[in-house]
Amino acid sequence: MSSSKKSNLVFLLILLAYAVYAAIFIFRSSFVVGNERYFVLFDDAMISMRYAKNLVDGYGLVWNVGEERVEGYSNPLWVVWMAALHIAPVDDSKISLLVQTSGALFIILSLFFVRKIALDLSGSELVGLLSVVLTAFYQPLNNWALLGMEVSLLVLLVCASVYWLLRILRQGRFSVWPYILLGIGMLVRVDMAVPYLIGLIFMVFADTSNRRKHLVWGLGLFILSLGGQTLFRLVYYGDILPNTYYLKVTGYPVHLRIARGLYALFTFVWDSNWLLCLLPLTLLFFRRNRQVLILFALVLGQVAYSVYVGGDAWEHRGGSNRYIAVIIPLFFILFTYAAYMLIQSLFNRLKAKPEGTRMWGNLVLVIFVVIAMISFNFLQGNIKSLERWLLLRQPMFTVGSNYYVQIARDIEKITHPEARIAVVAAGTVPYFTERPAIDMLGKNDSWIAQLPAFVNSSFTDLEKFRPGHMKWDYDYSIGELKPDIVVELWGESKPAQKYILVDYVVGGAGGEYYFSLRKDSPNIRWDIVELCTGECLDKPSD
C-alpha cells in the first residue's frame, strides 16, 4: 500500500473515531427529566433556539411573542439554520439533538480542510494528520460546537476560506470563493468581519497580480454582507447594531475592557502551557513565506479581537473562548508544523542517516503532540477537565441544563401561559416554558443592555468581570415590570429584596425547586403551589 493510501486510511480512521467521540459526547450531554430524555444546548444557544422557534411558528424573529422586537442574538444565519431544523417533526426535548449533530458534521467537514492546509504548508502527511487530531479532540472546541454554538459552522467557513486563499497564493489564479465563504461567515456572526478584512488586506499586498480583483470582489462582498444585514436590522429592529453589542461593549471603560481581555488571554495562555502556546512562533525561523504569514495574521487578528471585546464570559471554565476557538485549527496547524521543523532540524544536526532521521523524528513528533494534546485539554490543571475530555464525566454546562429544564417543567405546572417569568439564564427556561419572559441581564432587553456595567472602574475587578453579564436593574425588571415569577437573582441582590420580601412568596411545584411568586398574580395556579418558608433557592453547580 502506498504512503498516500495509508495516510488516507489513517485520516478516515481519525474521522470515524471523532464521529464516535462526538456521538458519545452528545449523548453524555443529555439527561432524563420526568421519564423523558432531553437534549439541550448551552443556555446562550437556547436563546437563539427561542428566536428560531418563534420564527417557524409564524411570530417572527422575536424573543417574546407580541412584544417589542429586540435583536437578542448575534448569530442571524445560525438562527435561520436552527429555524430550518425546527421544521422537522421532532419534539422540543429532542430538537437540540439535530443542532448538535449538525455541529459534529460541520467539524468533520472542517477536518478535511485542516488536513489540506497542513499538507499544503508542510508537505508532510504526518503534520496534516496530527493537526487533525489536535483539532478534533480539543475539548473547548467540542464544548462550543457540540453544545449548539455557531462556532462549528464558523470553523468550517474559516478553514475552507483559508484553503482557497492558500490555493490562490500557490497558483496565482484569483478565486472569489474565500470572500463568498467569509461573507457567509459574517452573516452567521458579524464579527467574522475581522478575519474577512485581515484576509482581504493580506491578499491585496501579497497577491499583487490579482490586486484589483481582490479589492473589487473582496470589498464588494464585504459591503453586501455587512450592509444587507445592517439594513435588515434597521428595518426590522429599528437599530443599526444588535442589542448584544450594547450589552457587551458599551457601558464600561475601553481601557478596562481591553485590560480584561488581556487578562483573559494571559490566563488562557498560562493555563494551556505558555511554552506550547509560543511554540508556533519558532516556525518563523524556518518559514516566512506568504502561506505561513497569512495563518499567523488570521490567528493574531482573532486573538486581538478577543482582547478588544474583553474576552468572553466563560474563561473561568478554562480553554479557548468562543472567539479564539474559531481559529484554533489554524493555531494547531502552525503548532504541529513548528514542532515538525524543530524536531527535524534537531535530528539533522545529529547527522543521522536520512532514513533514521525521518523515522525517529516522526516518532518523537507523535509523542510530543500527544503530550501537548493532553496539556491543551488539562483545563486550569483540574482533573475534572481531563475526565470530561475522556467522556468519563458529563460535558461542561450539562448539570446547569438539567437544572433549568426541571425549573421549566415546574414553572409550567404552576402557571398559566400568560405568566411572566424573570430570568437570569435566558435560554432554556423561556424556551421550554413558552411563557413571556423578562431578561434581567439584558440580552433581550434594550433598556438593560444600554446601562453602565455594574462593576467598579478599577483594575481590581478584572477577574470578576464577565462580558454580557454585568448589567441589571432590579427596580426596573422587578419593581416596574412586576413579573409573576422571579426564577433567580444575579450579582448584588439587595435592590431586589425590597420587592421580593414585600410582594412575593416562595413556592414551587412540590419538588426541590422553589421560586419567588408574586402574591397577587392571577397567572399562578395557587391551588397546586407548595409554599416554602425556608431557604429554597439554592442552585446546584456544575
Encode pLDDT of 325-358 as tens digits.
999 999 999 999 999 999 988 877 776 566 666 7
Q: How far is residue 205's CA from residue 220's CA, in Å, rounded to a whole number? A: 18
pLDDT of residue 362: 86
Neighbours of 364 (CB within 10 A): 17
**Tens of pLDDT along 284-314?**
998 889 999 999 999 999 999 999 999 998 8
Q: How far is residue 47's CA from residue 425's CA, in Å, rounded to a whole number? A: 9
- The residues, any chain, with a CB within 8 Å of residue 295's CB and separated by 6 or more, are 117, 121, 162, 330, 333, 334
Q: Has this prediction a pTM greater than 0.75?
A: yes
pLDDT of residue 541: 37
Q: How far is residue 435's CA from residue 415's CA, in Å, rounded to a whole number? A: 9
Single-letter code of the amino acid located at 304: A
- The residues, any chain, with a CB within 8 Å of residue 84's CB and separated by 6 or more, are none
Residue 508 host element (H or E):
strand 504-508
Q: How far is residue 262's CA from residue 306's CA, in Å, rounded to a whole number? A: 9
Q: Which ranges of the chain have pLDDT less than 50?
A: 537-542
Contacts by 340-344, CB closer than 8 A, 24 or more apart: 340/122, 340/124, 340/126, 340/127, 340/365, 341/282, 341/283, 341/286, 341/287, 342/279, 342/282, 343/368
